[in-house]
Structure 1
């Protein structure tokens, strides 16, 4: 004799999907600690074809991952063979310095980004005045190690060597600066990574709203495996001193906006990985506490640790 357990549809809708991605945070902080700045390796489960989502810290993060037994190969193998490409949200050094400093020992790869971001890298960094030109365009002689691939907003582009593809969305990072969000797909599963961004209400923008409109159907269908989004300052930070960043209050307000488009129930247990926390005084502790205490959406808040693998 047996019985069948029937679950309500609401319970079925809240089930977490099976992991489709593996993430290795190489750097998680939003400043000060130059050996722990924004960089996240992303690959499909079972693959060693990683893309680096930003590249503020590379070698130090890889070494930390090796110490944690996340990788069981040398740092040289990870950097030269596992990392296949870079997705750079914007050219501020806390998102780029690891790529620049490790370029002499890197292998040929593609750097993906919006046009203005790639132009800044070419004209202001890899220009022989700041650093040798490892790119394939720009100041002569070009060493042709890196190929620049411009991303057209909302157009899906394959990411070389990874089996994944990406769509870019412009973000406002304190006028006149621009950042980007990357919607990465592996088969029918997605991850959303946002570079630095201000809230629409502060930036007088609709750019985050446009991102939420684009991903709401994926959230509703449980195809979105997670969202990487920043919370740089605690709520006490004056709005006039946010410099194109989010606080816990503003972040949760934006996720509420997403819930209005996807349905609030679809947000429950959705992994939200908190990035770019400023490690000054006790600000990281306050950011975590403020997010946890005000999380009435039921999202799964994740505070990544350098070198520790995540499954999404």
Structure 2
């Protein structure tokens, strides 16, 4: 059974006009109660104005459990007590505001559409199971053409795995669409001239969610699977964030695919089998948005800790792969802002300097402990022992490290797979925390040093809320009360 771990309380701080996101599930398996599922809205809209689902691995059941255990105040704006002149007892009037069943039911009445990155069941199981039974209007199911065709052909159309209760947009009026309306989204061009910022690549969500549009890009997820990433844009402000489905690292070195390239963790893609870089165009576009102050956060998988053999990644990222890809993004940012190159810091042969106040909003520098030969160093995110809480002698504060080219970017780490029984988390509360510490500080025994790009890694946890500007939220259940930390989405 999944355990909802207590987490820090952190202040969600951002500018208005971006996005609010709730993590219904973020695991990479094998726990079916915590699978990829996120609920999203524009910051300047109410939840009652319409909700967009990003993935649908977990759903109604997971949300009901969150309401009934550690997160009773999720979506609190939907459950404000009604003003009524009725003489009925208050407990009857406000039953919907106290029952976890009714709360979850109410949230899903406002769900208008799903964006699905690929057709694997850990990303769409709740969508299938709940199709035709959840309250509210018929929902749109959006994704790349190949993703929707896989779902229709393997799940709905035969009428054997599940009743055939979905239909395509603009299909015959006689079609049964009680379970949803399929609408394919065109893949964006990989041409990155002018930063790839072509408005025609951004497609309207519609379905009552007119303040959002999406740019869909293909990803490599093993030899035989198609996956996607979504650049989600707030139409009025043009601010965005980036959401990844399952993904593997680009091939290094680049070159023609070998005959055995599909026998292990291949970097080829179902849409184009050549071993060309699928992520490089994504990072090029991300760098364009980041340097123009329009993107502050991305959600990306890191399924495995450092040290896992490449032949057992199965189309996913490990710590080494994600660190490599973040370095590629940093290089793309430096290309766009050569003025960042100074004499103060060298990152893989690229010199960077502390950005000026006009480059990008800055954040409070992180205080880091010294590294050790552990799989990751213990940090402030872990509970201090009595000995470490009262040092015998004061030590001088280290000088702040120069900021890297990605200072101000937050990478929210998702899809961490549960470790086998007996796996030593070295004091971390979840596998996601363990992986994030490795991403930050490296693993000395494996020759992986600390991250020097300036990016901030954050472990997603079921029940997290990202984006609210003015309320102090419980992140994952209240690990250490009183600790505040700013996050920004969009």
> Which whole-Å deviations, capped at 9, do the CAs of 1:75-132 have from their partners, x for residues lacking one?
1121121x21100000000001011111132330111111111001111111211101
Mark the structure with the bigger radius of gyration.
2
From 148, 160, 167, give the equivalent of 1:129.
160
Matched residue SS, 1:136: strand
Cα shift at 1:17: 6.0
Matched, 1:207 2:278: yes
Cα shift at 1:185: 0.1
**Counterpart in 2 of 1:75?**
104
**Counterpart in 1 of 2:120?**
92
Determine which structure has the larger helix proportion and give its number: 1
Moved more, 176-185 or 148-157: 148-157
**Counterpart in 2 of 1:63?**
64
Assess if the C-alpha contact under 8 Å between 2:405 and 2:453 holds in 1. Answer: no
Question: d(CA) in 1 for partners of 2:112 and 2:204?
Answer: 12
**Counterpart in 2 of 1:157?**
203
Q: Could you tell me which runs of 5 or more consecutive residues in structure 1 were left unpaired when the two chains were aligned.
A: 1-15
Matched, 1:143 2:182: no
> Which whole-Å deviations, capped at 9, do the CAs of 1:251-309 have from their partners, x for residues lacking one?
01101101111137551121111010001234715422211213322212111221221
**Counterpart in 2 of 1:267?**
406
Question: d(CA) in 2 for partners of 1:50 and 1:267?
Answer: 30
Matched, 1:18 2:15: yes
Question: d(CA) in 2 for partners of 1:235 and 1:195?
Answer: 20
Count of matched residue pairs: 295
**Counterpart in 2 of 1:223?**
294
Cα shift at 1:225: 2.7
Q: CA RMSD in A?
A: 2.0
TM-score calculated relative to the size of structure 2: 0.57
Matched, 1:171 2:212: no
Assess if the C-alpha contact under 8 Å between 1:231 and 1:277 holds in 2. Answer: yes
Matched residue SS, 1:251: helix
Question: What does 1:104-119 correspond to in 2, within 5 Å?
Answer: 104-106=132-134, 107-119=137-149
Against the structure 1 CA distance between its residues 126 and 142, is the aligned structure 2 distance closer, same or farther, given a 3 Å change threshold? farther
TM-score calculated relative to the size of structure 1: 0.89
Question: d(CA) in 2 for partners of 1:63 and 1:180?
Answer: 28
Matched, 1:196 2:246: yes
Write out the 4+ residue segments of structure 1 that deviate beyond 6 Å after TM superposition.
none
Question: d(CA) in 1 for partners of 2:406 and 2:415?
Answer: 22
Matched residue SS, 1:200: coil
Moved more, 221-230 or 85-94: 221-230
Q: Could you tell me which runs of 5 or more consecutive residues in structure 2 were left unpaired when the two chains were aligned.
A: 1-12, 80-102, 189-200, 252-265, 268-274, 335-351, 353-403, 426-430, 442-449, 468-488
Matched residue SS, 1:105: coil
Moved more, 282-291 or 218-227: 282-291
Question: d(CA) in 1 for partners of 2:125 and 2:457?
Answer: 28
